[in-house]
Amino acid sequence: MKKKTTQVAVAAVVAVLAVLIDQLSKLWAVNALTNPRPLVGNLLSLQLTYNSGAAFSLGAGSTWIFTLIAVAACLLIPFFLVRARGIGTRLALALVWAGAVGNLIDRLFREPGFGVGHVVDFINYAGFFIGNVADIELFLGVIALIMIEAKSSGATQNERRI
């Protein structure tokens, strides 16, 4: 029981720190990025934009739908995090939760209004899309969950062969 409590506490700290990093990076971007700044040639640059949609600006006219999905995710993920097995799964869920919360904060409290706010994006990936730290957290968390599940499924299949 103590191990589980410790793992959940560590995941919670990681989640809170990840949200804080996301929000501080957005605050910095809003205040510092008046012009695009190249980082790695044309591959990576900093460029401030406000996104009313989801990734790749999909669904730009349906911001409230993404707000509802984010609220549901932010309420459900802690439920799964507490019930998860292993620190890896808990940390991955903490990152997914932090990414969802980071972007939800923007949707709730940024212009043009509550629930339909635009997300601050500022990391330009070669003109393919512009994202933020919350997007990176979501991506890393989902990839980690996929890898954990793939490893778990592979072990289970190997056990069946024996």
From 107, 135, 136, 141, active-site residue:
135
Residue 22 is among the residues annotated as catalytic for this protein: no
Tokens 């205040």, located at residue: 31
From 118, 121, 124, 134, active-site residue:
121
Query: What is d(CA 89, CA 94) in angstroms, rounded to the nearest whole number?
Result: 9
Burial class for 126, CB neighbours closer than 10 Å (0-12, 13-18, 19+): exposed
When computed from its CA atoms, the radius of gyration of the chain, rounded to whole angstroms, is 18
Residues 6+ apart with CB under 8 A from 39: 45, 46
Residue 121 is among the residues annotated as catalytic for this protein: yes
Dihedrals φ, ψ of 20, to 5°? Answer: -60, -45
* Catalytic center residues: 121, 135
